Amino acid sequence: MKKTILTMAALTLLAASANAADEKGSVNFSGNLKGLKDTLIVMTPLEHGMKRDTVLTKDGQFNFTVNVEKPTDIYAYTPGTLRREERIGFQAIAVPGEKAVMTGDLSSSYYFSGSKFYEEYNEADRANDAAQKPLSDLMASLEKRMANGEKLDVLSKEYVEKAPALQKQATAAMVDFIAKHPDSEGAAAFIPRLEDVDAMKKAAAALSDNVKNGRIHDYYQSVIDEAAKREQAEQESAKKQAAGIVAPDFTLNDLNGKPLKLSSFKGKYVLLDFWGTWCVWCVRGIPKMKEYYNKYKANFEILSIDCNETQDKWKAGVKKYELPWKHVYQPRSGAVNTLDLYGVTGFPTKILVGPDGKIVKTIAGEDPAFYTFLDEKFGKK
């Protein structure tokens, strides 16, 4: 397995122990990994929150046991990694009653052996590495070129052009591998990594009845179910945000507590900016937003809709960042819910409404494409 550091929101921690996996629910991890420092912080999920313990290591050797009721992802990191000072750690699935032995190099590849499950898991891991290699090679090449001073926009364009096809190719390869190993619980454990809902469903359907009805079922099925819900929500949002749709009218209170209606902007372009001071990317995008507001304020107005925070924090944020455009506040509950009206599921989300009251374009996230769009829309011809 190539070294993988996932987002902190996905982490979970463990109970450190040197005992073998000889009791129901316990999973022993041991081995020797090059690059490992003297301490590991291991995480495992609890019903509410997560458990965190410290495991001492020496010369790359480690031995600990986690206790879980069902197959569960665990992550082990150095303290420096959790402080974002380095990137050293590993990811693994903990399966009750099994024993994992790990070897290799944390900076390149590491391997699993031990009980039957982890032998199967390692085989699937090798297949996954091979499937992902073209995409990994592309990423390594782009990173090297960026380090040599090549422009980020050029590299980003190349990534957007090439990466989707390579990821699709990798996903297809893993679906094929799982289909050829229908009795492998280790292969089934890789279904959540496919991410694409249709690919996950196809891989799950190819499993034998023993695996489908076994202990790994809930591990992969819960991910499929969540992904399907997310996909459905995204489809519903796309319908509400589609170009040409009449923008639903609404009335919310402005900074002075006075009602402000979207329809009062009819005849003008107005940008609905769903944001909050708690949103890191919203705040990071403020300088660029101010730059483009000043550049094109004769062509459009901005109506920022503050979401998911108190009125006091909202007003303080508008003052702190000196935001010169229009502002309204979206209460967490009330007669009007603009997040539902416009299918907003992430922040920031920017929706340009035309003079005719219809949606022109929607861009989610702090995406440079938004500013390119404004230049194309309002720049001199």
Work out the angle at residue 366's Cα, subtended by the Cα atoms of residues 363 and 371, and round it to the nearest 5 degrees.
70
By three-state DSSP, how is residue 127 classified? helix
What predicted TM-score, i.e. pTM, was given to this entire model? 0.71
How does pLDDT run across 175-198, given as a tens digit for each residue? 999 999 999 999 999 999 998 999
pLDDT for residue 47: 81
Decide if pLDDT at 204 tops 80: yes
DSSP symbols for 39-81:
EEEEEEE-SSSEEEEEEE-BTTEEEEEEE-SS-EEEEEE-HHH
**Pairing mode of beta strands 326-329, 300-306:** parallel
Which residues, including other chains, have CB under 8 Å from residue 380's CB and lie 6 or more apart? none
Is residue 71 within 8 A of residue 189, CB to CB? The reply is yes
The sheet with strand 50-56 has its strands ordered as: 50-56, 39-45, 72-77, 89-94
Measured between alpha carbons, how far is 262 from 265 in angstroms, rounded to an integer?
A: 6
Decide if pLDDT at 350 tops 90: yes
The percent of residues in the chain predicted with pLDDT above 70, rounded, is: 93
The owner of tokens 């410290």 is 54
pLDDT for residue 107: 85
Domains of the chain: 8-112 (2.60.40.1120), 119-239 (no CATH), 251-378 (3.40.30.10)
Mean pLDDT score of the chain, rounded to an integer? 91
pLDDT for residue 210: 97
Is residue 338 within 8 A of residue 259, CB to CB? The reply is no
